[in-house]
Chains A and B, each alone.
Chain A
Amino acid sequence: MSDAYVQRDAALFAPIAQTGRGFYFTLVVLGIAILWGAVAYWTQFEQGLGVTGLQQPVSWGFYVTNFVFFIGISHAGTLISAILRLSKAEWRRPITRMAEVITVMVLFIGAGQILVDLGRPDRMLNVILYGRYQSPLLWDATSISTYLTASTLYLWLPLIPDIAILRDHLGKRRFLYSVLAMGWTGTERQQKILNRAIAIMAVLVIPIAISVHTVVSFVFSMTIQPAWHSSIFGPYFVAGAIFSGIAALIVAMAIIRRIYRLQAYLKPIHFRYLGHLLLVMTLLWFYLTFAEYLTGYYGNGPEEMKVFWSKFTGRFWPTFWAMAVCNFVIPMIFLVRLRHHAVGKTVVASVAVVIGMWLERFNIIVPTLSNPRLPFPDAIYWPTWIEWGETAGSFGLFILFYVLFVKFFPVISIWEIREGREVGLREVEERLLSYLPDGTEPEPARDHTRVLR
């Protein structure tokens, strides 16, 4: 256990070992956003939800939008990490930890949005004591607590060997790392137990993740309101969640790569591959959206069309068309050719998608509520500083959790990178040989054009 062991991947230890001024500056900026959110929420707690812009009949607004949005982002991690692990994609190695952290941290924020939205948060235990399983909100509660448990476990299990490395080599916070490493010494027996547990979790977490956003969509589709009561909502929300999750992951990767100078580990090829995935999700999102609106338009039901036109040309056209541009036009432009400037292009597309997906949630919730069936007087929903503050505070809190994680634990999985160097290269070569005809031996590379003759 010499210093050379640490030196080779020194960049991965650096954020934990040293703390620069930038860290404290970030804390201050986040603190301001969180403070705004806290003041906003305190005002709301004291006076009631009336301090928001909500009203009859638009009784759900920013908070429920944020709820769906943040829970959607949570699909980044565990889903991507689990799927890439199961498909033995070697390029996942520097990405999985970041993805898993996003999932765990954002789930807290997402679930918190519902608590913020309650008129009587002092009675939130009623959901636990007197919950009704017929209500989609209880399906949400069950599903999200399952996902939170599973993804925390799925974050922590592969983290254990890294915590053990920190315990043995870092020199500070020995108590914390010793506790959390759970007695890991890297023996064969322990490795087998851990690998089996990770494999089980990778398989288990995928249906759990899919169920989470499906039941979130059921909150809307189980009502009989126009533009909500649609059977496509389950798959639509899951696809949208994966879409926004990949985008959030790319943004997080790019920021961390720049700040902590991890260009050696997070290379353009990683962004390129994630960019390709993002492009696929762009097309999938467009397909589902198109199917949804074409069905409504062709059926021409009067209430559906009221909501339809209010989105396309009516009061909500700015948010609707901004969503279309952010979710489809910009990603298509930037993601089609990623040979050069892969990092920059994917980041631009991802930021657009994150904004666009927030708008998509807003466009699902508010236009339907703003167009009731009965002829009520017109109601226009304008969010107040309370709702903006709560949103800013939520983002701030999420980023704070993330930043604190990066400060204490390796944001790139050290042992998996090492496993890639020591075992992965060989395994991949063996796997490739198994795909080719039997008896194939690796041959020296020849001029490409000669192969096709």
Chain B
Amino acid sequence: MALWGMVIDLDRCTGCQACVMACKAENNVPAVGAKEAARGRTISWMHVLTEESEERTRFLPRPCLQCDDPPCIKVCPVYATYRNPEGIVAQIYARCIGCRFCMAACPYNAKYFNWLQYQREAPGQNPDVSLRPKGVVEKCTFCHHRLQKARERALAEGRGLAPGEYVTACAETCPTRAIAFGDLSDHGSDVARLARSPRAFKLGEELGTKPKVIYLSETEGHRRV
């Protein structure tokens, strides 16, 4: 069984936000409009944070970290968010009651809420991704619809899923190839190899969430020699 994960190389990230735009286009993430954005309601499944300190400024692209022990699913009262066997933390829009407990519980603030009806059917949307109604929570799904399509194609052609066949929109788009995506359980895959790098670190590792988005940074890692 695959374990989908991501490695983001902070030493390569230029903060261009191509990943953000690709994610928005791919997943029909709504543009909430200038007024709502000013009120702090921007929905950004992939969000590039700016970490500033005395020594440096660093860009931190933050998708949902798809934790293996997610605090968000512990608190959901209606099974609207759950971790599937391949490690992806799913969000069921049809079940969500909008209590926003998962938003309060996520230490990475990776969950977003549809405060108003932001989305309507319009041309140019990705038909593989459902539109979200108002009042439900949404978040990065590792472009799960792409996995489904790739699996169906592979099944139709009578073969297994090839490495690199399923890749998220952000990883596909990044111009500096800072984002690597793949099967962490496949020892030889790029993602697994990078995750073993001495520069690797996990955000909020001490919280015990076991995130599957691993960051690489010269100034942070040095975990293994």
Are A and B direct contacts in the complex by CB distance below 8 Å? Answer: yes
Evaluate contact between A50 and B36: CB separation under 8 angstroms.
Answer: yes
Residue of A nearest to B41 (CB): A55
Interface hit among A3-11, A113-121, A308-316: A113-121
Evaluate contact between B113 and A56: CB separation under 8 angstroms.
Answer: yes
Minimum CB–CB distance from A132 to chain B (whole Å) comes to 6
Query: Is A401 engaged at the interface, CB distance under 8 Å to the other chain?
Result: no
Evaluate contact between A126 and B52: CB separation under 8 angstroms.
Answer: no
Instruction: Provide the residues of chain A in CB contact with B105, threshold 8 Å.
Output: 223-225
Task: Count chain B residues whose beta carbon lies closer than 8 angstroms to a beta carbon of A.
Answer: 47
Query: Is A235 engaged at the interface, CB distance under 8 Å to the other chain?
Result: no
Query: Is B207 engaged at the interface, CB distance under 8 Å to the other chain?
Result: yes
Evaluate contact between B115 and A131: CB separation under 8 angstroms.
Answer: no
Interface residues as binary, B75-107 with A (CB distance below 8 Å gives 1, 0 otherwise): 111111000000000000001111111011101
Please pick, from A118, A372, A376, the residue contacting B99 in the complex, using a CB distance under 8 A.
Answer: A118
Evaluate contact between A127 and B75: CB separation under 8 angstroms.
Answer: no
Assembly CA distance A374 to B98 (angstroms): 23
Q: In the complex, which residues 67-81 of chain B have their Cβ closer than 8 Å to any Cβ of chain A?
A: 71, 74-80
Query: Is A187 engaged at the interface, CB distance under 8 Å to the other chain?
Result: no
Minimum CB–CB distance from B69 to chain A (whole Å) comes to 11
Evaluate contact between B103 and A135: CB separation under 8 angstroms.
Answer: no
Q: In the complex, which residues 36-88 of chain B have their Cβ closer than 8 Å to any Cβ of chain A?
A: 36, 39-42, 49-52, 60, 62, 71, 74-80
Given contacts A120-B98, A132-B78, A222-B74, contact A50 B115 (CB under 8 A): yes
Minimum CB–CB distance from A64 to chain B (whole Å) comes to 9
Evaluate contact between B204 and A373: CB separation under 8 angstroms.
Answer: yes
Assembly CA distance A55 to B134 (angstroms): 14
Evaluate contact between B135 and A376: CB separation under 8 angstroms.
Answer: no
Evaluate contact between B97 and A118: CB separation under 8 angstroms.
Answer: yes
Evaluate contact between A137 and B101: CB separation under 8 angstroms.
Answer: yes
Evaluate contact between A374 and B60: CB separation under 8 angstroms.
Answer: yes
Instruction: Provide the residues of chain A in CB contact with B36, threshold 8 Å.
Output: 50
Evaluate contact between A48 and B117: CB separation under 8 angstroms.
Answer: yes
Instruction: Provide the residues of chain B in CB contact with A114, threshold 8 Å.
Output: 99
Assembly CA distance A134 to B82 (angstroms): 12
Given contacts A135-B75, A138-B77, A223-B75, contact A120 B97 (CB under 8 A): yes
Instruction: Provide the residues of chain B in CB contact with A120, threshold 8 Å.
Output: 96-98, 133, 135-136
Q: In the complex, which residues 44-83 of chain A have their Cβ closer than 8 Å to any Cβ of chain B?
A: 47-51, 53-60
Evaluate contact between B116 and A47: CB separation under 8 angstroms.
Answer: yes
Instruction: Provide the residues of chain B in CB contact with A53, threshold 8 Å.
Output: 39
Minimum CB–CB distance from A371 to chain B (whole Å) comes to 11
Assembly CA distance A103 to B11 (angstroms): 59
Evaluate contact between A126 and B78: CB separation under 8 angstroms.
Answer: yes
Query: Is A268 engaged at the interface, CB distance under 8 Å to the other chain?
Result: no
Mostly, the A contact residues are loop
Evaluate contact between B40 and A49: CB separation under 8 angstroms.
Answer: no
Instruction: Provide the residues of chain A in CB contact with B71, threshold 8 Å.
Output: 223-224
Minimum CB–CB distance from A125 to chain B (whole Å) comes to 9
Minimum CB–CB distance from B118 to chain A (whole Å) comes to 9
Evaluate contact between A49 and B115: CB separation under 8 angstroms.
Answer: yes
Evaluate contact between A127 and B115: CB separation under 8 angstroms.
Answer: no
Evaluate contact between A48 and B40: CB separation under 8 angstroms.
Answer: no
Query: Is B168 engaged at the interface, CB distance under 8 Å to the other chain?
Result: no
Residue of B nearest to A139 (CB): B77
Query: Is B28 engaged at the interface, CB distance under 8 Å to the other chain?
Result: no
Query: Is A136 engaged at the interface, CB distance under 8 Å to the other chain?
Result: yes
Please pick, from B41, B78, B95, B107, the residue contacting A373 in the complex, using a CB distance under 8 A.
Answer: B107
Residue of B nearest to A222 (CB): B75
Q: In the complex, which residues 119-155 of chain A have their Cβ closer than 8 Å to any Cβ of chain B?
A: 119-121, 123-124, 126-127, 130-132, 134-138, 141
Assembly CA distance A61 to B100 (angstroms): 11
Evaluate contact between B135 and A127: CB separation under 8 angstroms.
Answer: no
Among B71, B107, B114, B116, residue most surrounded by chain A Cβ atoms (within 10 Å): B107
Please pick, from A54, A57, A219, the residue contacting B109 in the complex, using a CB distance under 8 A.
Answer: A57
Given contacts A55-B41, A56-B109, A118-B99, contact A137 B77 (CB under 8 A): yes
Evaluate contact between A60 and B104: CB separation under 8 angstroms.
Answer: yes
Given contacts A48-B114, A123-B97, contact A379 B49 (CB under 8 A): no
Among A54, A126, A225, residue most surrounded by chain B Cβ atoms (within 10 Å): A126
Interface residues as binary, A227-252 with B (CB distance below 8 Å gives 1, 0 otherwise): 00000000000000000000000000
Assembly CA distance A132 to B115 (angstroms): 24
Evaluate contact between B50 and A375: CB separation under 8 angstroms.
Answer: yes
Residue of A nearest to B203 (CB): A374
Query: Is A369 engaged at the interface, CB distance under 8 Å to the other chain?
Result: yes
Among A54, A60, A134, A135, residue most surrounded by chain B Cβ atoms (within 10 Å): A135
Minimum CB–CB distance from A46 to chain B (whole Å) comes to 10
Evaluate contact between B49 and A376: CB separation under 8 angstroms.
Answer: yes
Instruction: Provide the residues of chain B in CB contact with A376, threshold 8 Å.
Output: 49, 109
Please pick, from A60, A141, A223, the residue contacting B100 in the complex, using a CB distance under 8 A.
Answer: A60
Instruction: Provide the residues of chain B in CB contact with A118, threshold 8 Å.
Output: 97-99, 135
Assembly CA distance A126 to B113 (angstroms): 18
Q: In the complex, which residues 108-122 of chain B have their Cβ closer than 8 Å to any Cβ of chain A?
A: 108-109, 112-117
Assembly CA distance A450 to B115 (angstroms): 76
Minimum CB–CB distance from B199 to chain A (whole Å) comes to 20
Instruction: Provide the residues of chain A in CB contact with B204, threshold 8 Å.
Output: 373
Given contacts A59-B103, A119-B98, A224-B207, contact A130 B136 (CB under 8 A): no
5 additional contacts, CB 8 Å, given A123-B78, A225-B107?
Answer: A49-B116, A222-B74, A374-B49, A374-B62, A374-B108
26 A–B contacts from the bound complex (CB under 8 Å):
A48-B114, A48-B115, A48-B117, A49-B116, A50-B36, A50-B39, A50-B116, A55-B41, A60-B104, A118-B98, A119-B98, A119-B99, A120-B98, A130-B78, A130-B79, A131-B78, A132-B76, A135-B77, A136-B75, A137-B77, A225-B104, A225-B107, A372-B109, A373-B204, A374-B108, A375-B52
7 nearest A-B pairs in the assembled complex, by CB-CB distance: A119-B98, A119-B135, A55-B40, A50-B115, A50-B116, A137-B77, A48-B134
